[in-house]
Amino acid sequence: MNSTFITNSLRFVVLLAIQVVIFNNIDFLGFINPYPYILFIILYPVNGSKAGLLVASFFLGLVMDMFSNSGGVHAAACVTLAYFRPTFFKFSFGVSYEYQTVKITDKLTPERFSFILIAVVTHHLVLYLLEIFRFNFIWDILLRTLLSTIFTLLLCIIIIYLIKPSKR
Amino acid sequence: MQQIFNFILKNSNRLLFLLLLGISLSLTIQSHSYHRSRYISSANVFTGFVYEKINNVKEYLNLREQNNQLANENAQLKKLLFNNTDSLTAGSALPKPSGIENVKVYNAKVINNTFNSKENYLTLLGGQQDGIKPDMGVVNSLGVVGIIEKTSSSYSTVQSILNVKSQINAKIKKSNHFGSLIWNGKNVGFAQLIDVPRLASVRKGDTIVTGGRSEIFPENIPIGTIDKVYIDKATNYYTLNVRLFNDMTNLGHVYVIENLKKQEIQKLEEETKNE
């Protein structure tokens, strides 16, 4: 219990630091920035406290907002993702989720991939919808969501398997 | 009563979610209004400190461009100096551009710069301690950069001209016709000058400078050149696509301009309105 708390706190700080220092400065093609900091929400223990996740996600988003001058956009997107995470689990893993045996950091199966995909798409869609809430930018929003999703998804998977804790 | 407690306990996560979502949405909506939320901005001590440290490293990557820019600016100032006929009054005889007499200029450094969203902000090293206050103009040697939005004791945020909320009074240098400079959110190299009357003779390549109508920027600060001319059929106004002199993706040192007569102007306007 205690060690998972420490792992999570560490992940919170490290992911935020990497996001602010490196990934916020990528500006691929001038407007695409990946947001792999949401890995914190994705990797949060399945059987961990839900209220804890909600509060942690809120602060995660809030710090991001401070750094990017965006009001409460990241906070809203993160809280939404955190709240719907169990639903996505149920959708992606089906019955096995009920027994809480899901491990995300394991071999990349279609279930795991679909879970990460849905999580990233949800977060980015909420994020960009709130960030540019003007109807004449609708195609722009969809394009940005699509491109950033691909980028973030790739980075998330790469990071997960790069720092995957070695088995036993 | 029991039922209410049961309801709260059963739905505690949902209620928590709604509460947090409500807070973040209200912060978002607040940030869309003119005066942004006070706490969630990169002008605070923590984020300012982090950006300053990051910038200490990033600064080295474009030292060459920064040096070139400063050298060019020095050359221009030297040109003004050497072309003076009377060397005795060299210092004081610099030609004064109109409108600059009542202006104070502070030096500041850009420590964070965004240009990939629709509402872009810069963070400056330099705040209230250095005399920087909200609603001052920010320029560099090439042209207009933006307007100070919020300040803390040693940092400040700037609403860049690459922000769909930004609106700056500008004019065509040759003909003195006024318009408003906005950004349509598409290309970081271009801004748009709207509401230029059809009487104005506009040609591709003409220079756009700040107009004298705002109390934020002095007159005749360069902005860019006309790249394309569109005619708005409904209103009979021109919309001009302006190629910015500034590369907004690469900013180093900037100057913050304070109009010392601003309060006087505002007070006068207020009194006139109230009568």
Measured in angstroms, the CA of A108 and the nearest CA of chain B are apart by: 30
Distance between CA atoms of B186 and A132, rounded to whole angstroms?
12
Task: Pick left, alpha or beta for residue B85 (phi over 0 → left; psi -120 to 50 → alpha; otherwise beta).
Answer: alpha
* String of DSSP letters for A66-116: HHHT-TTHHHHHHHHHHHHHHHHHHHHHGGGGTTT---SSSS--HHHHHHH
CA Rg value for chain A: 16
Q: Is the pLDDT of residue B95 over 70?
A: no
- Amino acid at the residue B95: P
Distance between CA atoms of B271 and B52, rounded to whole angstroms?
43
Q: Given an 8 Å threshold on Cβ–Cβ distance, is A80 in contact with B21?
A: yes
**Could you give the angle at which helices B12-32 and A50-68 cross, rounded to 10 degrees?**
10
Q: Given an 8 Å threshold on Cβ–Cβ distance, is B41 in contact with A72?
A: no
Place of tokens 């950006």: B51
How far, in Å, are A11, A119, B66 from residue B166 at the CA level? 38, 34, 26
Instruction: Nearest by CB to A83, from B17, B27, B47: name it.
Output: B17
Q: Given an 8 Å threshold on Cβ–Cβ distance, is A25 in contact with B30?
A: no
Instruction: Nearest by CB to A54, from B13, B26, B115: name it.
Output: B13
Q: Reduce the DSSP state of residue B153 to 3 states and report it.
A: coil
B100 against B147, higher pLDDT = B147
Taking the CA of residue A70 as centre, how many other CA atoms within 13 Å lie in the half-sphere pointing to its CB? 25
Average pLDDT over residues B115-131: 83
Which residues of B, range 47-106, sit inside 8 Å of A by Cβ?
Answer: 47, 50-51, 54, 58
Q: Given an 8 Å threshold on Cβ–Cβ distance, is B44 in contact with A66?
A: yes
Supply the pLDDT for residue A54. Answer: 86
Secondary element (H or E) of residue A113: helix A110-131
Average pLDDT over residues A28-41: 78
Supply the pLDDT for residue A100. Answer: 60
What's the fold here for domain B42-84+95-275? Thrombin, subunit H (2.40.10)
Which residues of B, range 4-33, sit inside 8 Å of A by Cβ?
Answer: 12-14, 16-17, 20-21, 23-32
Domains of chain B by residue range: 42-84+95-275
Lowest mean pLDDT among B70-79, B87-96, B135-144: B87-96
Instruction: Nearest by CB to A30, from B41, B54, B188: name it.
Output: B188
Contact list, A32 vs chain B (CB under 8 Å): 116
Q: Given an 8 Å threshold on Cβ–Cβ distance, is B13 in contact with A70?
A: no
Q: C-alpha B88: how far from its chain's center?
A: 38
Instruction: Nearest by CB to B24, from A32, A33, A61: name it.
Output: A61
Q: Given an 8 Å threshold on Cβ–Cβ distance, is B23 in contact with A25?
A: no
Taking the CA of residue B87 as centre, how many other CA atoms within 13 Å lie in the half-sphere pointing to its CB? 1
Measured in angstroms, the CA of B136 and the nearest CA of chain A are apart by: 19
Contact list, B116 vs chain A (CB under 8 Å): 27, 30-33
Q: Given an 8 Å threshold on Cβ–Cβ distance, is A54 in contact with B12?
A: no
Q: How confident is the model at residue A168 (pLDDT cuts 50, 70, 90)?
A: very low
Please check whether residue B151 is in contact with residue B132, taking contact to mean a CB–CB distance below 8 angstroms: yes
Q: Given an 8 Å threshold on Cβ–Cβ distance, is B185 in contact with A71?
A: no
Q: What is the pLDDT of residues B191-204, one digit of tens each?
A: 888 888 887 788 88
Name the closest residue on chain A to residue B38, using Cα atoms: A71
Average pLDDT over residues A18-44: 79
Average pLDDT, chain B: 80
Instruction: Nearest by CB to B37, from A30, A71, A132: name it.
Output: A71
- Amino acid at the residue B190: F
Lowest mean pLDDT among A111-115, A119-123, B254-258: A111-115
Name the closest residue on chain B to residue A31, using Cα atoms: B116
Q: What is the pLDDT of residues A125-165, one digit of tens each?
A: 888 877 766 556 677 777 877 888 888 888 888 888 777 66
Instruction: Nearest by CB to A75, from B13, B24, B185: name it.
Output: B24
Lowest mean pLDDT among B22-36, B38-52, B85-99, B237-251: B85-99
Name the closest residue on chain A to residue B47, using Cα atoms: A67
Supply the pLDDT for residue B128. Answer: 86
Instruction: Nearest by CB to B41, from A27, A66, A133: name it.
Output: A66
Residues B135, B139, B144: CA angle, nearest 5 degrees = 95
Secondary element (H or E) of residue B105: strand B103-113
Here the ipTM equals: 0.71
